[in-house]
Structure 1
């Protein structure tokens, strides 16, 4: 078993592309992040020199991948499935590199194995913060109609997009009964949001001339596009806007000839019920772990 770290996302995709393509829904986060980074580099966008991608191999065969590219909080790592031995080897490598890694997200059991080993080495205690579940859309089921229409966000919507992308994470903790602020909150700079807007990756539901809901989606990678974030302000919830927005964006994704997937928080029964009703089906359980 051996590991190879990459700073360049294009080189990483050359090494891991076949592995990612074999399970494109499961690999959606890693594939999306690496592909977006390649596009940003081509556009002259500077990348954080601390970012890395890693490939685990056994006898030359790729058996797992991971990355540490998150720009927010403690910059959590993200792991896809890999053998327990590879997860422990990666934990030891991260520790030996002197990285102060305090959070990791990803597939079970690799993420938990990695966190347990890194906790042992660093003297920290792993604590599961959030259980998530990855879903793939089967046949889209149209929700009951609601007033209003879906439209693509424009640059004039930057302020509301910024506010709602941030509020999404805080409110998600609240809705799941977790105390906000204990886990890293993802932040989004204006340049990032404007790129998403300019490439048609943020949609808004407008009712009576007022924006009442946001649904985002990532650019397709290996034939899969991930829907999210999905946010409705508290005072507008319970009116069907989320179902309508996600259904509309999912339909746009399917029209591109790619598969649609999304994540849910297992502790939020409302969102899980909404997505199941639209035709999303569970694929794999994942976990977010912090090291205290």
Structure 2
């Protein structure tokens, strides 16, 4: 496999676009990352690389902002990819990718680096084309405002802890402010009180990820998250052809809720975290 690195996402995206859109639902996160990155101007801590076999791109590696993302649907060259990454001495808190390829890649990588990379979350990727007719909880969906920012930051911190991921205060605040200004952050409100949040996340030309679904512990079990996701998904379907959503497979309640709304499982993925 021949590996090529690129300095900017603008150079990289056209090279890997065909690979990414072969499985758009699975790769919506990576597509969204690369689309968003093109508005940036500092790529000093980023990494963009692809692997080619006989002139055909079959693998992509991306670091933008946080984790190392692996994109491939071929097992044959994962050892070579792991060796390539290990030799680059890259800094990343974790690795994300679709299964089984990310599992095999990390297994090879663990044999080559001086730290341990351990499974943090088994995930499932869902697709929604139409919202099912479900019972709605009381309340109303509204776009978040900057007055909600402190609360959203508190919930984002708890969301990251619950997900077992890392939380960067400055990056998160910047992203939440942008989400509010772009009207992509939403609140479920009951009698003037914010009780749940969710967001429109990364997107492609056809789809968008429903993300940051969080309800504080004292408001759970009342159907607020279910209703917000259903209403936000309906809104998203007025803008895109379909929605996608990532879930923690260890939480059968949330997986059951999303399927009740109409989300159908498409693929499995995993998030690994580096343990020094």
Structure 1 length-normalised TM: 0.87
Structure 2 CA distance, aligned partners of 1:24 and 1:65?
Answer: 14
Cα shift readout 1:109-128 (whole Å, capped 9, x = no counterpart): 22122211211112444432
Match of 1:37 in 2: 37
Structure 2 CA distance, aligned partners of 1:286 and 1:248?
Answer: 26
Matching of residues 115-154 of structure 1 within 5 Å: 115-154=106-145
**Conservation of the 8 A alpha-carbon contact between 1:30 and 1:66:** no
Query: In structure 2, the residue corresponding to 1:113 is in which secondary structure?
Result: helix
Q: CA deviation at 1:12?
A: 1.4
Structure 1 CA distance, aligned partners of 2:77 and 2:44?
Answer: 24
Cα shift readout 1:112-150 (whole Å, capped 9, x = no counterpart): 222112111124444322100100013211321211100
Moved over 3 A (4+): 123-126, 183-189
Q: CA deviation at 1:199?
A: 1.0
Matching of residues 74-153 of structure 1 within 5 Å: 76-101=67-92, 103-153=94-144
**Conservation of the 8 A alpha-carbon contact between 1:143 and 1:243:** no
Match of 2:273 in 1: 290
Q: CA deviation at 1:245?
A: 0.6
- Say whether residues 1:17 and 2:17 are aligned partners: yes
Match of 1:272 in 2: 255
Structure 1 CA distance, aligned partners of 2:59 and 2:90?
Answer: 20
Structure 2 CA distance, aligned partners of 1:232 and 1:33?
Answer: 26
Match of 1:184 in 2: 166
Cα shift readout 1:5-41 (whole Å, capped 9, x = no counterpart): 2231121111111222222111111001110111x32
Structure 2 CA distance, aligned partners of 1:99 and 1:119?
Answer: 14
Match of 2:236 in 1: 253
Q: CA deviation at 1:289?
A: 2.1
**Conservation of the 8 A alpha-carbon contact between 1:24 and 1:222:** no
Query: In structure 2, the residue corresponding to 1:21 is in which secondary structure?
Result: helix
Cα shift readout 1:238-283 (whole Å, capped 9, x = no counterpart): 0000111101111111001321000000000111011010010111
CA shift in 2, pair 1:267/1:206, >3 Å: same
How many residue pairs were aligned?
274
Cα shift readout 1:192-249 (whole Å, capped 9, x = no counterpart): 2111111111110010000110011125313110000100000000000011110111
Match of 1:62 in 2: 57
**Conservation of the 8 A alpha-carbon contact between 2:8 and 2:43:** no
- Say whether residues 1:263 and 2:246 are aligned partners: yes
Gaps of 5+ in 1: 174-182
Query: In structure 1, the residue corresponding to 2:203 is in which secondary structure?
Result: coil
